[in-house]
Amino acid sequence: MDKLTVIKIGGNVIDDPAALKRFLTAFAGLSTARLLVHGGGKIATQVAEKLGIPTTMVEGRRITDQPMLEVVTMVYGGLVNKQIVAQLQSLEVNAIGMTGADAGTVLARKRPVKDIDYGMVGDIEDVDSGQIQFFLRQSLTPVFAPITYNSAGDLLNTNADTMASAIAVDMAHHNEVTLIYCFEKKGVLKDPADDNSVINELTPALYADYKAAGTINKGMIPKLDNAFKALENGVSRVIICHADEVTEAVRQGAGTTLKK
C-alpha cells in the first residue's frame, strides 16, 4: 500500500508570509505522496470588514450567512488557495487548487439548527477518495480550501480540521495515511504559556484526563476530537506539531503523536 501524507496547515501560519514560505518549502521537499488542506486565517475577517460585512464568532466558530459565505469562498477558495498553489508551483510541486465542490470530492450537508444557527456551514457526508486518488496518480498535489458543497448545489463553509480528518479517513482505503496537523505551537501543550511543555504521546485515556483537569481546552478540543476520530477509522498515524517541524514529523515523528 502506497504511503500518503495528509497535512492541514492552520490559519496563523497562513497569516505570516515568512512562516508560510518555510512550511511550503518543507512540504515541497517531502518524498511521499502528499496533499494539503488549509484554513483561511484572518484574511476573510479583514476582507469582510472592508466590505462592511459584520463577522460573528461563537466559541471560535464563524457564523456564515450568505454575505459571509461569499467572502470566505472568495478568500479561502480564491485568494489564499491560489497563493499557496502559486508558491508550490515555484517550488516545482505541480499543485492543483480545489474546494470540495471540485470534481465532487467532498460532499456535505448544511448543519442543522440546534442551539446555534451557524448558517451556511457544512458537515461532511462523503469524500470521493477515488477521485482524489486519480489526481495523485497524475502526479498532481491537491490543495484543498475548506469549502464544500451539498446535493442542492450550495457551497458551504467547512471546518478545515474536520475536512482534513475526513479526507485522511477515506484515503486510508487506498493508502497508508499519516495525518499531520501543523500550526504555530510545538504540539499539544501542558502549559499554553510554555512552548516546551509538549505532551509527546496522547492516548484517549490521557486525553480524557487532561480535558477533565482543564489542561486541554478551548480550540484544541475539536482539533483532537477530529484527530482521534481519524486514528480510530483507519489512519495509521496522527501527529500535531509546529509547521517548522513537518519534515521531522513525517520522518520520525515530532510534536504530539496520538496513540490508540
Residue ranges at the known binding site for substrate = 40-41, 62, 157
CA atoms within 13 A on the CB side of 115: 2
- How far is residue 254's CA from residue 249's CA, in Å, rounded to a whole number? 5
Annotated binding site: 40-41, 62, 157
Query: What residues are paired with 149 via a beta bridge?
Result: 107, 155
AA identity, residue 247: T
- How far is residue 153's CA from residue 156's CA, in Å, rounded to a whole number? 10
- How far is residue 37's CA from residue 180's CA, in Å, rounded to a whole number? 10
Query: What residues are paired with 55 via a beta bridge?
Result: none
What string of DSSP letters covers 140-154? -EEEE-SEEE-TTS-
Pairing of strands 3-9, 33-38: parallel
Radius of gyration, alpha carbons of the chain = 17
- Provide the strand spans (E) within the chain: 3-9, 33-38, 57-58, 61-62, 95-98, 106-110, 122-127, 141-144, 147-149, 155-157, 176-183, 201-202, 237-242, 256-258
Cell readout for 105 is: 470530492
